[in-house]
């Protein structure tokens, strides 16, 4: 890990570790090579993924900030670490879909690759022990997971982020199929985009070839995911860790 001020592990997720720093309101997020799929049933590693996803997230978050979307990222600290604002995560996974894939195809019988007539926003309960179940707005309200105005705002932000990511990727020959977002509140109550944006959390298809450039390669054992993750980063025009 990056040397420097004392850090205390605050949370260890499936692909990231979050550390407290000496500064209140800030944390360090370390991206690892660990990969899981199907709610942890399939476990492994995608070599070099920590570096690639850290850089990819850093680029996407900076692009979104430039377009007025507040995020938790402050700056990249090292090849595998971001400095971020500390947030209390809203316990909802916000999924946006442009094209049918994954659980949408499994649940609804729509063939993979079917374009959707408009982007869909779905909410799931961020609960690994329950397998992140899909939620209706009534579920969210009755279970008191988030106030209605926050849910409405999450949908507006998710759709705006979709438009920004989609057009950014179109220009780079990549189709944005679907993705998952997480949001959180900072100590002063600001709602910001949190977590990561990477091939672990998005489906990206090479527009020209249809090749998958995301975690589906790992999920379905379709070959080495590292070159695909790297290709995606290359398309973003990464130039390395900022000094």
Binding site for ligand UDP (CB under 6 A): 93, 95, 101-104, 132, 178-180, 201-203, 215
If the CB atoms of residues 132 and 211 are measured against ligand UDP, the closer one turns out to be: 132
**Could you tell me the smallest distance in angstroms from the CB atom of residue 164 to ligand UDP?**
16
Both tokens assigned to 34: 């660990």
**Could you tell me the smallest distance in angstroms from the CB atom of residue 146 to ligand UDP?**
18
Using CA atoms, how far residue 9 sits from 19, 186, 196, in Å, is 4, 19, 18
Both tokens assigned to 136: 């209706």
If the CB atoms of residues 6 and 41 are measured against ligand UDP, the closer one turns out to be: 41
**Could you tell me the smallest distance in angstroms from the CB atom of residue 93 to ligand UDP?**
6
CA distance linking residue 185 with residue 24, whole number of Å: 15
φ/ψ bin of 110: left (φ > 0), alpha (ψ from -120 to 50), beta (otherwise): beta
**Could you tell me the smallest distance in angstroms from the CB atom of residue 45 to ligand UDP?**
17
Q: To the nearest 10°, the Cα dihedral for 190, 39, 122, 154?
A: 0
If the CB atoms of residues 26 and 206 are measured against ligand UDP, the closer one turns out to be: 206
Both tokens assigned to 230: 């790297």
If the CB atoms of residues 7 and 72 are measured against ligand UDP, the closer one turns out to be: 72
CB-based closest residue to ligand UDP: 102
């Amino acid at each position: 890990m990056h040397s420097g001020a004392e850090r205390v592990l605050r949370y260890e997720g499936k692909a990231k570790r979050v550390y407290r720093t000496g500064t209140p309101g800030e944390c360090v997020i370390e991206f690892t090579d660990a990969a899981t799929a199907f709610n942890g049933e399939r476990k492994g590693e995608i070599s070099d993924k920590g570096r690639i996803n850290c850089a990819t997230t850093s680029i996407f978050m900076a692009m979104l900030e430039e377009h007025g979307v507040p995020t938790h990222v402050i700056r990249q600290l090292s090849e595998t670490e971001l400095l971020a604002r500390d947030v209390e995560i809203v316990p909802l996974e916000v999924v946006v879909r442009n094209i049918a894939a994954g659980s949408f195809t499994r649940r609804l019988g729509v063939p993979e690759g079917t374009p959707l007539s408009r982007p869909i926003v779905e909410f799931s309960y961020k609960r690994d022990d329950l397998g992140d179940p899909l939620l209706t707005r009534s579920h969210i309200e009755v279970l008191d997971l988030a106030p209605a105005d926050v849910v409405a705002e999450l949908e507006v932000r998710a759709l705006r982020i979709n438009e920004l990511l989609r057009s950014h990727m179109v220009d780079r020959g990549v189709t944005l199929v679907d993705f998952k977002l997480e949001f959180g509140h900072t100590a002063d109550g600001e709602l910001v985009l949190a977590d990561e944006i990477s091939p672990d959390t998005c489906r990206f298809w090479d527009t020209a070839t249809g090749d998958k450039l995301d975690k589906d390669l790992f999920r379905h054992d379709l070959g080495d995911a590292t070159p695909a993750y790297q290709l995606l980063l290359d398309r973003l025009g990464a130039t390395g860790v900022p000094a």
